[in-house]
Structure 1
């Protein structure tokens, strides 16, 4: 039986004028408006807002993004090559060039299936709640509420911790870039202390939040700049390292076939653990869904952008990784470094000045990636809070009247990131925990609506604006298989034997959030949380699958 008895009654109700939560009539903004159904918006901005209202929400954010704007932001969220540069340590230790190149190709093909699956679902349910809202609509009625609650927490925690991983990765990357300069042979110019690293992390976090807050109206222009900046940097790195190659070049057999695991794990499992590199870089795939309420035509633009971005990222990643493998120094020395990329580039060009010039595009891209992740994390936190699923929801669900963005939710996300950043004082591998728990939570949240769709026989996908057709079952199956592998995989330490300093703290952080979510659910949510609103009739908000309702927009005389 459904958790929401109002759903059945509402589904059979005749079409009526939609009203907002204060009971005021919501009028059509265009003459002769056609009926609005879930997943079937008209091709104008008004219909996007009308569809959002049909899904149960009032439009509060400004729609300024086009298909390319969404694609560019999605690209910046992954920030290839920066995302690959900061986690290159994992595949090098997992097996070297084979894991770097073929691991990237393998995961990219898998994530293409994830993106296509989520894109199809998003074309039916385009809200900032993203996979959380979609899970509520697609899960079996008997578990709909609990499934949505769990998915929502995983999605929010994933967004926040992956943003934290980006900010902390940027910090460690900046330190490594500075240390391409040496005070004397073999001595880095900056022997950073723990508190210095934390202060740099704090500065990076505050900067990204400030840009996202005060530059909100121009962020899509920043994303567009980032794409051209990225490929200019990629070409500079590709041409320079291959042309100079001060220490020589490996042959193609080494680049595409050398496998040297040094992690201590058995060879096959070592390869899998090395996939965290590609998994981290592509984990942002579904984060862009949180921006749908700022997109002009979300049912078509967001799905296309998600798939388009994976293809662009795959190509960009290969353009970055293959040249580095041709000039790769001794792997046994690289795996001792937390951030090996600056060392690889310096070794190839033979000059600190030239190395920092090539690293500069990655350093700028790191900040732009942090801004994009900060923005997406704030939107999903806000969307989850407006349904009362987070303690203090009334405060976190407010939209700032002049900045046109959820400022309070962004401050909550930032506060959690800074608090978790304190783990750095207890463990030098804290970054592993941040990236690991981010990938785990996002992967889990992506899997839940896909699983719900498959359990329902994919019937809700009929009439989707981004249909997968017969390919849907295959794409969905591959996406779920990846999720089943990724969840335990990214809880593993990068190498064995495990010490107190090298243990993977991702499960600890994950369990901590699970405890908070469980306490809040049993203390408040079990009696009060009813899931997201889905449709309104005469001022009454109900919970139930929107595809059971024919929501017709009528213009009152």
Structure 2
């Protein structure tokens, strides 16, 4: 894999013209970085302090795939049981993996914190560039903001699960989880401001913990836990959700592995803080996909063999089925607590990375005038070199969002599930625009990383096909008959946000929003 088009003299000369710069060393990056920013019409405001290993660690820990399969099985267990967990993970890995390969190519073409909405602006047909990129920008903001709430609330529920495990008299209340979430959000804010310059070093340490923790969980499960038979794991589909079709149930259950595998594009939203971004980002995304995809598959197979009762897993005693599985394996409160704390710490670290990703994506979209009060959210404080207002918004918004859980956990879960659908929409539109460009035979802009002409086209088609199917079933309820308590309200939130975005566009943003394609340099 590499640049399938080669590097012509014009490109070499263009890069050489950016060898000298007046930017301070921490912002300068490479000549290629400066050329990319000039081409995209962007000013370098953030520090480029991430190299390959730190940004690889950043994306890998944000995804926490092998950790995520433990907390995401609530989708799969009722909808096909153990075989759905395993087989739909493989389907999701192939389909979403193909999409990520395509996005890695786009990241090499346009390495910007805007990510998907910027790519849509560059690659969509001229007639729809502005509106499509604007809507995708809104869904990107929604998806990543909901992602913060999801990860922070998951940390709170894991802490509650530990309390239930170790204190038989503890009775969890909704306000407990809300207050714990507030504390988690506050810590995320501290790491993303006071310790922001140390994040690259921290991410390297967390990458090591991510890998070592995998073996710390895997080995005890295989050594001590009771096991299902291979026939039960691979062939014995059990649908207890009420759906009559095993196929439909399995497609709904894919949301579990999809949740665990979503997020390699997080590295893209940190693009303007990565040195040599057009080369480093694609490799970081592919490396993250491979590391997390493989470890996630090994862990989900392990979990399927050691899960225990399907019925008990569908209604876990300790908030999450994996805590009960750990206890069944170790028969020790201390051992279970240590294993759970590994998952908890990494989930918290994922929340930190979520705040960083969401704030950069919001900053980028505001920079192009896509949001109300864009001037506030795009502000980068000199000296700090961080979008502090966007970070503050992300943390405050999550704190307000989690208050919904005091009135209705159904409504709050709808907010969380919309994060998946919103990001899928941004992926789908991006890939669709690029595929249309391929089919029309239009030339691509220069890129330093490519999947190759044939393999790139295959990944584009497979990824787009998978995203279409996944997006449809992401709106389905897990259980039937459908009631107000088990309804998947994601469709209501999705339509509501699209309507708000549409009204704001007609009333104001059609004049204030400047699509990225309009800022491109004409001489490169």
**Secondary structure of the structure 2 residue equivalent to 1:81:** helix
| Structure 1 residue ranges without an equivalent (≥5) | 1-17, 19-26, 33-42, 184-188, 535-542, 552-557
2:420 corresponds in structure 1 to 439
The structure 1 residue matched to 2:510, chosen from 503, 526, 532, is 526
1:289 corresponds in structure 2 to 268
Is the alpha carbon distance of 1:432 and 1:478 closer, same or farther for their aligned partners in structure 2, counting shifts above 3 Å? farther
Q: CA deviation at 1:550?
A: 3.0
* In 2: Cα distance, 1:494 partner to 1:292 partner: 36
On the 8 A contact 1:280/1:435 being kept in 2, the answer is: no
1:91 corresponds in structure 2 to 76
2:44 corresponds in structure 1 to 59
The structure 2 residue matched to 1:254, chosen from 215, 232, 237, is 232
Q: CA RMSD in A?
A: 2.2
Q: CA deviation at 1:406?
A: 0.5
**Secondary structure of the structure 1 residue equivalent to 2:109:** coil
Q: CA deviation at 1:323?
A: 2.2
* Greater mean deviation of Cα atoms: 108-117 or 461-470: 461-470
Q: CA deviation at 1:544?
A: 6.2
* In 1: Cα distance, 2:111 partner to 2:419 partner: 23
CA offsets, 1:254-313, max 9 Å, x none?
Answer: 222231111111211111111111111222122221111011111111011111111101
2:139 corresponds in structure 1 to 154
CA offsets, 1:494-519, max 9 Å, x none?
Answer: 11122222222222222232232122
The structure 2 residue matched to 1:412, chosen from 393, 411, 415, is 393
Is the alpha carbon distance of 1:459 and 1:67 closer, same or farther for their aligned partners in structure 2, counting shifts above 3 Å? farther
TM-score w.r.t. length of structure 1:
0.85
* Greater mean deviation of Cα atoms: 274-283 or 501-510: 501-510
Q: CA deviation at 1:430?
A: 4.5
**Secondary structure of the structure 1 residue equivalent to 2:65:** coil
Q: CA deviation at 1:521?
A: 0.7
* Greater mean deviation of Cα atoms: 412-421 or 401-410: 412-421
Q: CA deviation at 1:134?
A: 0.9
Q: CA deviation at 1:69?
A: 1.7
* In 1: Cα distance, 2:389 partner to 2:519 partner: 29
Is the alpha carbon distance of 1:430 and 1:177 closer, same or farther for their aligned partners in structure 2, counting shifts above 3 Å? farther
On the 8 A contact 1:74/1:309 being kept in 2, the answer is: yes
* In 1: Cα distance, 2:493 partner to 2:223 partner: 44
CA offsets, 1:480-501, max 9 Å, x none?
Answer: 1122112221112211122222
The structure 1 residue matched to 2:365, chosen from 384, 387, 404, is 384
User: Is it true that 1:504 corresponds to 2:488 in the alignment?
Assistant: yes
**Secondary structure of the structure 1 residue equivalent to 2:165:** coil
* In 1: Cα distance, 2:493 partner to 2:402 partner: 12
1:482 corresponds in structure 2 to 466
2:4 corresponds in structure 1 to none
* In 2: Cα distance, 1:494 partner to 1:434 partner: 15
On the 8 A contact 1:88/1:341 being kept in 2, the answer is: no
Q: CA deviation at 1:363?
A: 1.0
The structure 2 residue matched to 1:330, chosen from 304, 309, 313, is 309
Q: CA deviation at 1:425?
A: 2.2
On the 8 A contact 2:116/2:137 being kept in 1, the answer is: yes
**Secondary structure of the structure 1 residue equivalent to 2:308:** coil
**Secondary structure of the structure 1 residue equivalent to 2:369:** coil
2:280 corresponds in structure 1 to 301
1:30 corresponds in structure 2 to 19
Is the alpha carbon distance of 1:375 and 1:202 closer, same or farther for their aligned partners in structure 2, counting shifts above 3 Å? same
Is the alpha carbon distance of 1:176 and 1:44 closer, same or farther for their aligned partners in structure 2, counting shifts above 3 Å? closer
**Secondary structure of the structure 1 residue equivalent to 2:113:** coil
| Structure 2 residue ranges without an equivalent (≥5) | 1-13, 22-27
User: Is it true that 1:231 corresponds to 2:211 in the alignment?
Assistant: yes
* In 2: Cα distance, 1:403 partner to 1:544 partner: 26
* In 2: Cα distance, 1:463 partner to 1:274 partner: 40
Alignment of 1:386-405 (within 5 A): 386-405=367-386
* In 2: Cα distance, 1:249 partner to 1:83 partner: 21
Q: CA deviation at 1:152?
A: 0.7
Q: CA deviation at 1:168?
A: 1.4
The structure 2 residue matched to 1:139, chosen from 116, 124, 145, is 124
The structure 1 residue matched to 2:184, chosen from 190, 196, 204, is 204
* In 2: Cα distance, 1:267 partner to 1:212 partner: 44
User: Is it true that 1:130 corresponds to 2:109 in the alignment?
Assistant: no
On the 8 A contact 1:121/1:461 being kept in 2, the answer is: no
* In 2: Cα distance, 1:220 partner to 1:258 partner: 45
Q: How many residue pairs were aligned? A: 499
* In 1: Cα distance, 2:86 partner to 2:430 partner: 30
Q: CA deviation at 1:530?
A: 2.9
**Secondary structure of the structure 1 residue equivalent to 2:172:** coil
* In 1: Cα distance, 2:401 partner to 2:29 partner: 42
**Secondary structure of the structure 1 residue equivalent to 2:422:** helix
Instruction: Give the structure with higher Rg (CA).
Output: 1
Q: CA deviation at 1:59?
A: 0.3
Q: CA deviation at 1:378?
A: 0.3
User: Is it true that 1:218 corresponds to 2:203 in the alignment?
Assistant: no
1:119 corresponds in structure 2 to 104
1:242 corresponds in structure 2 to 222
**Secondary structure of the structure 1 residue equivalent to 2:486:** coil
Q: CA deviation at 1:479?
A: 1.5
The structure 1 residue matched to 2:442, chosen from 447, 459, 476, is 459
On the 8 A contact 2:29/2:48 being kept in 1, the answer is: no
On the 8 A contact 1:169/1:431 being kept in 2, the answer is: no
**Secondary structure of the structure 2 residue equivalent to 1:461:** coil
TM-score w.r.t. length of structure 2:
0.91
Q: CA deviation at 1:475?
A: 0.8
User: Is it true that 1:550 corresponds to 2:516 in the alignment?
Assistant: no
Is the alpha carbon distance of 1:544 and 1:405 closer, same or farther for their aligned partners in structure 2, counting shifts above 3 Å? closer
The structure 1 residue matched to 2:53, chosen from 50, 68, 72, is 68
* In 2: Cα distance, 1:149 partner to 1:504 partner: 26
**Secondary structure of the structure 1 residue equivalent to 2:403:** helix
